[in-house]
Structure 1
């Protein structure tokens, strides 16, 4: 299984009153990494259909240690589960080489025109396959 890596810059607005990254901002950082995988990396490989609609059905976040304001954090992500009409993205957020948070997002391909969920295409499944965790 391959992991997709993303370097995320921290912004002053990410900080809370205690000088740490606010817990809600972790979801924004995870979103940036997810977009880099599903839109930027997918486009490089000729896949653009994910840009047409993916919605989040669920987030789960574990905060393991505070993240102080700094230059960047590294997010590594992979596909934890791949089903016909949904997939689970798993993440680890590293601060100075130490895991500071783990998370999962349940993602559902979505047809925005028809306003309903849809199934993953064979091309989408093939794109995710290298990132799929094996039991």
Structure 2
């Protein structure tokens, strides 16, 4: 990651229980790690949890409480085993696509000791009105907020 990179780097703890019988972080737990990275970088949805540290890009606190950001798709590619360590994994993430009613977040998960990229992934989120169930468009304010943190898909 360079200083000109659009990526936000967060540190996501690996839990002892994340490890499978091979000593690797289990594939199911990888999705949990991606969710944790997303919340660390962009914040929890408005109206959830108690106040904490402000995220680097407060994308989700600008969304009213009746709006949900729902995962519509995950794509994950395992490049190397992510072995359990008692130090957090390095996760770089950025916005790789903004469409009318959705956005995609790209991730690169690296071993915190060796620096080897172990996982690349992308999550597509859609904003939905919790009352009506209707898709909501990504606002111009949200587009402006994520602009400096936008780059090509990790799968490009």
TM over 0.5: yes
Q: Name the structure with the higher helix share.
A: 1
Relative to 1, partners in 2 of residues 1:60 and 1:85: Cα closer, same or farther, differing over 3 Å? same
What is the CA distance between 1:47 and its match in structure 2? 4.6
Moved over 2 A (4+): 40-43, 45-48
Among 2, 6, 21, the alignment partner of 2:6 is 2
Cα separation, 2, equivalents of 1:54 and 1:46: 8
Asked whether the equivalents of residues 12 and 37 of structure 2 are also in contact (C-alpha less than 8 Å), the reply is yes
* Matched residue, 1:53: 68
The alignment's TM-score, normalised by the length of structure 2, stands at: 0.78
Asked whether the equivalents of residues 19 and 26 of structure 2 are also in contact (C-alpha less than 8 Å), the reply is yes
Asked whether the equivalents of residues 10 and 69 of structure 1 are also in contact (C-alpha less than 8 Å), the reply is yes
* Matched residue, 1:108: 126
Q: Name the structure with the higher strand share.
A: 1
Unaligned 5+ segments in structure 2 are 44-54
Among 16, 21, 26, the alignment partner of 1:17 is 21
* Higher RCO (CA 8 Å, separation ≥ 6 residues): 1
Question: Cα RMSD between the aligned structures?
Answer: 2.1
The alignment's TM-score, normalised by the length of structure 1, stands at: 0.89
* Matched residue, 1:79: 95
